[in-house]
Amino acid sequence: MSPVTRSPRGGAAAPLVGALGDLIEDLVVELGGPIRPRTDTEAVITRRRGGSAANVAVAAVLAGGRGRFLGNVGGDHLADSLLAGLTSAGVEAVVTRSGRTGTVIAVIDADGERSLLTDRGSAGELAELPAGALDGLGVLHVPAYAFGVEPLGGTARRALTEAHRAGILTSVDASAVPVIEQMGPEGFRRMLMETTPDVLLCNEDEARALGVEEPPLGVGLTIVKRGPEPALILVGDGPVEEVPAREVTGVVDTTGAGDAFAAGALVALGSGRSPRQAVELGHLLGAAAVSVAGALAGTESVPGVT
């Protein structure tokens, strides 16, 4: 069923966007110079909330919707703090708890080059959805990172199928080319055919890896994010429509920009707006995200959100 024909659930004015996946800590290390082996290297080190799904849930609130995070989080004090941050941002958390919280360390050198060290902790241990996870949702969104580890991957597939059958708008973000490579392009396309999400979000590199110009992906609406260039909308096998991006001066950090874009687009679609209007709201949230350091914290004001 095409996403433009689904009726918004939970009230068109404020759709509840559920995002299934990771809530982790981002540790950002900005080096003051080359790393000096066996001695000290000066750096600025910042702790932030991370996880694509958590970022989407927070940005959904800023986009004028409501957000719910779904996943497994650590049974430690770090997870307590991260969950408190979600609550402060107006996000519901429907979670199971076990193991330890994951961390991604981003090392940024003097030239701005970013290297990532990833430890997802127990985020992949979600064996089944918590009770009531889908209740009241207008949208269920799954970043493809969720499919890269079990049992979370199987849970994500079942959640998409169950939500779709319940009439909830469903969405998958391709997340990153390495995710597609891990599953294999055919494996990723097979997952889309099996779970039939209403919306697929991807960037140009991911679109190229998937071959989204070949229509039978089992997806009603595909949105290709292109940074400062116009985004592309493909509805079924219809013509491609371009939607210009918003001009942004003084980009601070692109971390979480794709998640913010996804949240804006999904809030709009969940409110019954057109794909073009969805991309326009996505651009608005994406522009807000690149104007601050790190992913949107949930305390920002986003001009233009109604």
Residue 239: predicted pLDDT: 82
Top CATH class, 3-24+51-102+122-290: alpha beta
- Measure Cα distances from 56 to 111, 112, 119, 124 in Å: 29, 25, 20, 18
Write down the pLDDT at residue 108.
84
The Cα 269–Cα 125 span in angstroms is: 30
Structure tokens given for 237: 């096998």
Domain ranges across the chain: 3-24+51-102+122-290
**196 torsion bin: left (phi>0), alpha (psi -120 to 50), beta (else):** left
| pLDDT attached to residue 82 | 97
- What are all long-range contacts of 29-37, with beta carbons under 8 Å and residues at least 24 apart? 29/105, 29/106, 29/107, 29/108, 30/108, 31/107, 31/108, 31/109, 31/110, 32/110, 33/110, 34/109, 34/110
Q: Are 21 and 53 in contact (CB under 8 A)?
A: yes
Quote the CA–CA distance of 16 and 197 in Å, as a whole number: 17
pLDDT score for 290: 74
Peptide bond into 37 cis (omega under 30): no
∠ CA 173-190-70 to the nearest 5 degrees?
40
Residue 169's pLDDT is what?
Answer: 98
d(CA 127, CA 125): 6
Q: Tell which residue, 146, 150, 152, has the closest CA to residue 171.
A: 146
Helix/strand/coil for 11: coil
Rg (CA), the chain: 18
Q: What is the pLDDT along the chain (306 residues), one digit of tens a residue?
A: 233 334 444 445 689 999 999 999 999 888 988 999 999 999 999 898 999 999 999 999 999 999 999 999 999 999 999 999 999 999 999 999 999 999 999 888 877 677 889 999 999 999 999 999 999 999 999 999 999 999 999 999 999 999 999 999 999 999 999 999 999 999 999 999 999 999 999 999 999 998 765 544 567 899 999 888 999 998 877 788 899 888 877 777 667 788 999 999 999 999 999 999 999 999 999 888 777 766 666 666 676 676
